[in-house]
Amino acid sequence: MDHIGNSIRRFTLRHLRDLGMGKSKIVSAVLYEAKELVKVMKKQAGVPAPLPEALTPAVINVLWQMIASKRYELDDQEVIGFERLMEKVRNGAVRLSMQDIIPWIKNILPETIFNYIIKKHNYSKLSDTMKSKFQSTIDEHLKILDKNNPRDFIDDYLIEMDKQKNNPDSTMSIEDLVGCIGDLFTAGLETTSMTINWIVFYLATFPHVQKKLHEEIDEVLPKGTVFTLEHKSRLPYTEAFLSEVFRYSSLVSLGAIHTTRREVNFAGYTIPKDAFVIPFLGSVHYNPKYFDSPQEFQPERFINSDGKFETPKEGLLPFGVGKRKCVGESLARMELFIFMTTMLQELHFSTPPNKSLDLTTTDIPFLRPPKMNQNIVITIR
């Protein structure tokens, strides 16, 4: 959300934090999508196959419900088309971000090369298509906006924008709302769906861990029990597992780009003023200073001597650090926890006989996604 003003960031942070703390509407929406995804997964039970394509639409639905009170069937061509559009926009943005990650590349490659990339991948056109969809959704909300009964993020934003219309310091506008929605999808779509992929891959790869999770969930959430956030504190191993997924996968390997305001001396290096600084979060997650045996997958590292879940004060940074850390952290944690527990209530995941999963990553700028399209065997419990 780099291009969005501080006032909008504060508004968004407050809104998402409230949702992540457990507003019933969004919890119900996540539960519904998780159960719909489990239904699809059950259809491929017993057959070695990649995770179903419905996974990403389920995550998209959670975001659309939160942002605009919309949802689609998981096989709806509109939501599938939106998924492909977002993927193309991300791919184009990744190529262009090389100018920021490796700034000296501009001294080697002429500007025409970057213009060619934009043209070849239709980045501007794709971005305009995405913005047009968001704008039409906002227009629909404006027509039926009830200031006394806000339904979602767009309604809340429009109401707050109206309150701030005479505030000269306010930066809230329709244009920035379009950008904000784009940022929410960019930050919350692929990271969540990729994390769910990692969750399943680790469950299948470490069956002893999955066994402990099933035992804990069966005791607290026997089949048929509807998850509520009150159950979370009674699932310490499940929370520990999710934290270890964050650490071990280090999906978001690079943090937000910062700029030095003055020359800085750090660890024997002189960093000049106005230099780009990109934190390498993955290096912290595998630092023995913070984690014993960091190359091993051990959820127990987040369980204290009293058997309770405990997050270390330092070392675990899946959502970044500082004022510019991910604004949707509380919502993402809640969403992933519900998807994970709902799947484990009813399903078991394993590798095909005599096969193993490739847990190396497909490195792209800022992300370390798993290698997709690997076969998993799903068993109904």
CA 324 to chain CA mean position, Å: 15
Residue 44 has pLDDT above 50, yes or no: yes
Q: 58-89: per-residue pLDDT in tens?
A: 999 999 999 999 999 999 999 999 999 988 88
What's the average model confidence in pLDDT over 45-59? 97
Model confidence at 343: pLDDT above 60:
yes
| Averaged pLDDT for residues 94-101 | 58
Q: Is the pLDDT of residue 256 over 70?
A: yes
| Residue of 89 and 208 predicted with greater confidence | 208
Q: CA 14: distance to chain centroid?
A: 18
CB 277 within 8 A of CB 324: no
Give the model's pLDDT for residue 106: 60
Q: Domains in the chain, please, with CATH? A: 6-380 (1.10.630.10)
Question: What percent of the chain shows pLDDT beyond 90?
Answer: 63
Confidence of residue 3 (pLDDT cuts 50, 70, 90): very low
pLDDT at 28: 92
Query: How does residue 2 score in pLDDT terms, banded at 50, 70 and 90?
Result: very low
Q: What angle do CA 134, 82, 191 make, to 5 degrees?
A: 95
How many residues are given for the chain?
A: 381
Which whole number is the average pLDDT over 15-44? Answer: 86
Q: Is 180 annotated as a binding residue?
A: no
The helix/strand/coil state of 56 is helix
Rounded distance, CA 254 to CA 102, Å? 14
H helix or E strand, kind and range, residue 277: strand 276-277
Work out the average pLDDT over 307-323. 88
Average pLDDT over every residue of 155-181: 90
What CA–CA distance (Å, rounded) separates 253 from 247?
10
Q: Please, which pLDDT band fits residue 121 given cuts at 50, 70 and 90?
A: low
**Bridge partners of residue 348, in order along the sequence:** 379
In whole angstroms, give the CA distance from residue 357 to residue 379: 17
Phi–psi pair at 113, nearest 5 degrees: -65, -45
pLDDT surpasses 50 at 1: no
Pairwise pLDDT comparison (101 vs 274), residue with the higher score: 274
Question: Which positions ≥6 away from 95 have C-beta within 8 Å?
Answer: 117, 121, 123
pLDDT greater than 70 at residue 218: yes
Q: Inter-axis angle of helices 153-163 and 6-20, to 10 degrees?
A: 140
Position 112 confidence tier, pLDDT thresholds 50, 70, 90: low
* % of the chain beyond a pLDDT of 70: 88
Q: Is the CB of residue 64 less than 8 Å from the CB of residue 72?
A: yes
Stated as kind and residue range, the H or E segment containing 226 is: none
Average pLDDT, the chain: 88
pTM: 0.90
Model pLDDT, residue 116: 59
How many Cα atoms within 13 Å fall on the side-chain side of residue 120? 11
pLDDT band at 102 (very low <50, low <70, confident <90, very high): low
Q: Residues 322-339: what's their mean pLDDT?
A: 86
SS3 for 380?
A: strand
pLDDT of residue 325: 78
Least confident stretch, 42-56, 80-94, 353-367: 80-94
Give the span between the Cα atoms of 239 and 189, in whole angstroms: 21
In terms of Cβ atoms closer than 10 Å to its own Cβ (0-12, 13-18, 19+), residue 217 is: buried
